[in-house]
Amino acid sequence: MYAREELLACVIARLIGDARHVAVGAASPIPATGAVLLKQKNPGLRLSFLHKRKGNPFTEGSRELFDLAGQGRIDVFFLGGAQIDGEASINLVQAEGRRFPGSFGSAFMYPVVKKVILFREEHSRRTLVPRVEFVSARGDPAALLTGKALFSWQKAKRRFRLQSVHEAGDVRGDTGFDYDAPGEVPLTPRPSAEDLSLLRGPVAQAIAADYADFAKRVWRIN
Amino acid sequence: MTAVEEIAARIPDGACVALPPDYSMPAMAVVRLLVLQKRKNLRLLGVPVLGMCADLLIGAGCVAEVETSAVSLGEAGLAPRFTEAVEKSEIRVRDATCPAIHTALQATEKGVPFMPLRGVIGSDLVRERGDWVVVENPMKKMGSDPILLVPAISPDVALFHARWADEAGNVWIGRRRELATIAHAARATYVTFEEMRAGDMLEDELLAPGVVSAVYVTAIARAPHGAWPLGIAGVYDIDDAHLAHYAKAARTREGFQRYLDEFVCTPEKNSSPASSPA
């Protein structure tokens, strides 16, 4: 048995791949968990977590992350959105009369970071829409990971392709945009025993320091 | 040295006030006084984002306009008074993106009228922001290379909290360098601080890199626990329970008013008690 968050963290770790420097923004416990999991196997991986209250990696204030990214020194970054559309645009500003917090650094990070992974846990027609109401940022992502499925991005066609689903179910019915899919959609690989033991040991301890509520919910630790 | 009340009194109605994010030492004691003194039509600049500090001012009707990359309470969720005020068109928002705000302030630091910034092209922000301009890179010898220019921003006021001030009028902000940027760019900089240090921190090699020199500082005032319920790294943490309480209370106008009555309008409760676990 494993938690859905653990499966998603394992997918994140695979998507990061052989990157050297991963940055994770605020309020992203699952991407942070995936990155910390990968670091267990690849200790040379540099992680810059913006939300860290102690031992924050930056000494030039909040602009340093963007200066690093502008120079190409950040290999992987994660973005989400209140809405994500079939052209991989994200909306963090407004939809259906509702106001959201705002674009943060997305408009800059999306086009300048080599590998942007779109992550949104909620997979519904509300979040995955044909066309976003406001384009906070657009770019070419490496992938879109949701709580139900993993999509790859076809840059030439500017269209998503379904790679795998986490459980059997009606993904197309829950997705507001059109996408390509193989005839047989594979299941997302399960977390290995090794990954689960790392997640529940050192990874959980590391994540609990910055995401106490998340760690309590997933691993029941304080 | 001035009193916290005087600092608040020197920030006039209609001022453009640059504020740091919740994790970067906002001067909450002054923010509460601005609410009490019923300041009006403030224009807030989030450097580069805003949180509870701005939500309090917006909910209390002190704000006409916000320029920021986001307003949020972080793990405590949406900033409820900001959200409602925008949805009801009670305030104007000039949406930005984090590095555009840093870059615009750096232009002012350097005394130049604008600065270029990579990325951003393709975002609807460029369309909405009439003051941002996309040009061809004039240094490029061949081919097309469009790039965004953002105009310099000069806030009327920079307002933040610091760990220390010294007898020379310097303040220590450590690694929170966005505070140095706003101090350099603003016409007036007001700083509250936790503790007074004897002497001049610029003469201490270890402290000097974290100092904002008195050159940039207009006035300082001592405010112990002045960032509460937000924190100062290494001194006291963000009061997460209080922030969660605020996020819940401020979901309705009535709840927000009760919060103000309890924590802003009652002098003995509007700073963290000495016995607090912080």
**Domain holding A71: CATH number?**
3.40.1080.10
The amino acid at B227: A
C-beta of residue B9 within 8 angstroms of C-beta of residue B37: yes
Q: Which pLDDT does position B278 carry in this prediction? A: 38
Tokens of B85: 């005020």
Q: Which pLDDT does position B273 carry in this prediction? A: 47
Nearest to A27 among B75, B125, B178 (CB): B75
Tokens of A15: 């998507």
Q: Above pLDDT 90, what percent of chain B?
A: 89
Interface contact flag, B95 A59, Cβ < 8 Å? no
Tokens of A180: 């390509």
- For residue B104, what are the CA distances in angstroms to A46, B107, B118, B155, B230? 29, 5, 13, 11, 26
Interface contact flag, A54 B179, Cβ < 8 Å? no
Q: Hey, which residues 13-32 in chain A have their CB within 8 Å of chain B? A: 26-27
Phi then psi for residue B252, to 5 deg, are: -120, 155
Question: Helix, strand or coil for residue A176?
Answer: coil
Q: At what angle do helices A212-219 and A4-16 cross, to 10 degrees?
A: 120
What is the Cα–Cα distance from B219 to B206, expressed in whole angstroms? 24
Determine whether B99 is exposed, middle or buried from the number of CB atoms within 10 Å of its CB (0-12, 13-18, 19+). buried
- Chain B: residue nearest A72 by CA? B118
* Cα–Cα nearest to A124, from A76, A177, A67, A187: A177
- Chain B: residue nearest A136 by CA? B123
Chain A CB within 8 Å of residue B51 CB: no
pLDDT (tens digit, 9 = 90+) per residue, B238-264? Answer: 998 999 999 999 999 999 999 999 999
Please tell me the total count of domains within chain A. 1
> Which helix H or strand E contains A196, and what residues bound it?
helix A193-198
> Which of B50, B98, B129, B230 to mutate to test binding with chain A, by most A CBs within 10 Å of its CB?
B98
pTM for the full model? 0.93
Chain B CB within 8 Å of residue A59 CB: yes
B4-96+154-269 is a CATH 3.40.1080.10 domain? yes
Any idea where the domains of chain B sit in the sequence?
A: 4-96+154-269, 114-151
According to DSSP, the residues that pair with B150 across neighbouring strands are B115
pLDDT (tens digit, 9 = 90+) per residue, B181-230? Answer: 999 999 999 999 999 999 999 999 999 999 999 999 999 999 999 999 99
Residue B155 predicted with pLDDT over 80 = yes
What is the Cα–Cα distance from A138 to A91, expressed in whole angstroms? 9
Q: Which pLDDT does position B277 carry in this prediction? A: 39
Q: Locate tokens 């008690």: which residue? A: B273
Q: At what angle do helices B52-59 and B240-249 cross, to 10 degrees?
A: 30
What is the Cα–Cα distance from A162 to B244, expressed in whole angstroms? 38
Question: How is residue A192 annotated by DSSP?
Answer: P
The number of angstroms, rounded, from the C-alpha of B23 to the middle of its chain's C-alpha atoms is: 10
Give the confidence band of B269 by pLDDT, cuts at 50, 70, 90.
low
> Which of B124, B175, B206, B238 to mutate to test binding with chain A, by most A CBs within 10 Å of its CB?
B124
C-beta of residue A162 within 8 angstroms of C-beta of residue A151: yes
The amino acid at A171: V
What is the Cα–Cα distance from B228 to B145, expressed in whole angstroms? 47
Residue B122 predicted with pLDDT over 70 = yes
Residue B272 predicted with pLDDT over 80 = no
Mark the ranges of chain A whose per-residue pLDDT is less than 70: 55, 222
Q: Which pLDDT does position B267 carry in this prediction? A: 61
Question: Helix, strand or coil for residue B276?
Answer: coil
Q: Which pLDDT does position B1 carry in this prediction? A: 64
> Which helix H or strand E contains A6, and what residues bound it?
helix A4-16
- ipTM of the complex in this document: 0.93
- Chain B: residue nearest A50 by CA? B23
Which residues in chain A have Cβ-Cβ distances shorter than 8 Å to B79?
101
Show the domain range for A215.
4-219
